[in-house]
């Protein structure tokens, strides 16, 4: 496939290109949220088993993952809404 045909497809369907970009942003956001849930459940299991305190690092990292994951999902949603106006 030549570059001109590819460029013609992207110029003819810009909404599809924006939706693909939104999809590529959504996937890492979902993975970050999933890993935050997994880290949080691991921290709860270790807390229940050891009767000790959870480190501050174990509390900050899931919170950071939640913030970054939800911001990725919000940005993808805004991009998807923007593609409906084109």
Lowest model confidence (mean pLDDT) among 15-19, 21-25, 31-35? 15-19
Minimal CA–CA distance to 74: which of 12, 32, 44?
32
pLDDT at residue 2 tops 80: no
- 63/56 Cα distance (integer angstroms): 11
Q: What is the pTM (predicted TM-score) of this model?
A: 0.72
């Amino acid at each position: 496939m030549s570059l001109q045909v590819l460029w013609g497809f992207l110029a003819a369907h810009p909404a599809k290109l924006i939706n693909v970009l939104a999809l590529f942003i959504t996937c890492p956001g979902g993975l970050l949220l999933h890993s935050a849930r997994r880290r949080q459940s691991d921290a709860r299991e270790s807390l229940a088993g050891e009767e000790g305190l959870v480190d501050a690092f174990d509390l900050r990292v899931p919170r950071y993952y939640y913030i970054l994951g939800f911001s990725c999902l919000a940005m993808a949603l805004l991009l998807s809404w923007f593609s409906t106006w084109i």
